[in-house]
Amino acid sequence: MSRALKGTELAEKVGRGFPGAVAEANEQWVTVGAEQLVAVATHLRDDPELDFRYLIGVCGVDRLDHFEVVYQLQSLSRNHTAVLKTRALDHQEPQVPSLAPVWQGAHLQEREVYDLMGIRFEGHPDLRRIFLWDGFPGHPLRKDWLGMPGGRHAGLGKFPRED
C-alpha cells in the first residue's frame, strides 16, 4: 500500500535544508515558495530517503486571487507519495519556475498548464501552447475566462431537483 507522506512531515524535512522555503504545510500537502521551488524539488528527487524520482502529475488551480500549481510526487523504491504545491501570486501575469529540468515528465504537462491556465514556467525549454493554437484569446481554464456570450458563466446556478 502506497503511503501518503504528510505535508507537515515533509515540511519538516525540507525546512531543515531550506529554511524559509515552506510557505504552508498541512496534513495533505506542503506549499513551497516559488523562489526555492527548483532547489526543493531537486532535493526531493535526489534525497535517498525521500527518493521522489517519479513525478505523477502537474495541475494548475485558479484560486481567484492567485494560482496554485500542484505536483503529485511518487517514490517508486519506497512507495510513498507526496503533494507539493507552489503559488503564483500575480493573477494577471502568473509565473513560477519550471520543474522540467528536474523532472522531464513535467515538460508536456507544464506546456498544458501554460496553455490552459496561462501560468508561465520560467526556465521551461520549450514553452509553447500545446492544445490550442497560437493566438487563441486567453486561457480557458481560468475562472475569469467566460465561455458564453454576454459574460455569463456556463452551467447551472442550481441543480433542478435540488431541495
Partner 1 sequence: MLFLAEWWDLRDLGNPVGKFLEVLSDHGPGWLPYVASGIIGCVAIVLFLVPSQMVIVWAERRLIGRIQARLGPNRTGPWGIFQTIADTIKLLAKEAITTRHVDRWVFWLAPIFIFVPGITVFAVLPFGEGMVLADLNVGVLFLAAVGSINAIIVFMAGWSSNNKYALLGAMREVSMLISYEIPQVLTLLGAVVFTNTMSLSGVVQWQDHYNTWLVFLQPLALVIYLISAGVEINRSPTDIAEAESEIVAGYHTEYSGIKFGFFYAGEYFAGFAIAAVVASLYLGGWTFWGLEEWVPGWLIFLGKLYLVFWLFIWLRGTLPRLRADQLMAFTWKFLLPLTLVNLFVGGLEVLIWQENDLSAGLVLPVFAIINLALAVGLTVAWARFLGHGGPDSRPRRALLMKEVGAIVYGQEP
Partner 2 sequence: MKTEPFVVNVGPQHPSTHGVFRLRVTLDGERIVDADMIVGYLHRSMEKLAESRTYTQNIPFTDRVDYLAAMANNLAYCMAVEKLAGIEVPPRGQFLRVIMAELQRLANHAMAIGAFLNDCGAFYTPFQWMFREREHILDLFEMAGGARLTVNYMRIGGVSYDIPPEFMPAAQALLKEMPQRISEYEALLMENEILIARTRNIGVLPADLAIASSVSGPVLRGSGVAWDIRKADPYCVYDQLDFDIPVGTRGDCYDRFLVRMEELRQSVHILEQALDMLPGGPASVPVPLALRPPPGEVYARIEAPKGELGFYVVSDGSPHPYRWHIRAPSFINLTPLKDMVVGLTLADAIITLGSIDITLGEVDR
The site for partner 1 (CB under 8 A) is made up of 76-79
Place of cell 433542478: 160
Minimum separation from the CB atom of position 75 to partner 1 (A): 9
Question: Which pairing describes strands 80-88 and 30-32: parallel, antiparallel, or unpaired?
Answer: parallel
| Cell numbers found for residue 142 | 481560468
The candidate with the shortest Cα–Cα distance to 56, out of 36, 77, 39, 70, is 70
The residue (of 36 and 67) whose beta carbon lies closer to partner 2 is 67
| Cell numbers found for residue 6 | 504528510
153 binds, among partner 2, partner 1, none (CB under 5 to 8 A by kind): partner 2
Minimum separation from the CB atom of position 47 to partner 1 (A): 17
Helix (H, G, I), strand (E, B) or coil at 101: coil
15 binds, among partner 1, partner 2, none (CB under 5 to 8 A by kind): none
Among 15, 33, 105, 123, binds partner 2 (CB under 8 A): 105
Contact indicator for 70, 85 with CB cutoff of 8 Å: yes
Q: Name which of residues 5 to 64 contact partner 2 (CB under 8 A).
A: 28, 53-57, 59, 61-62
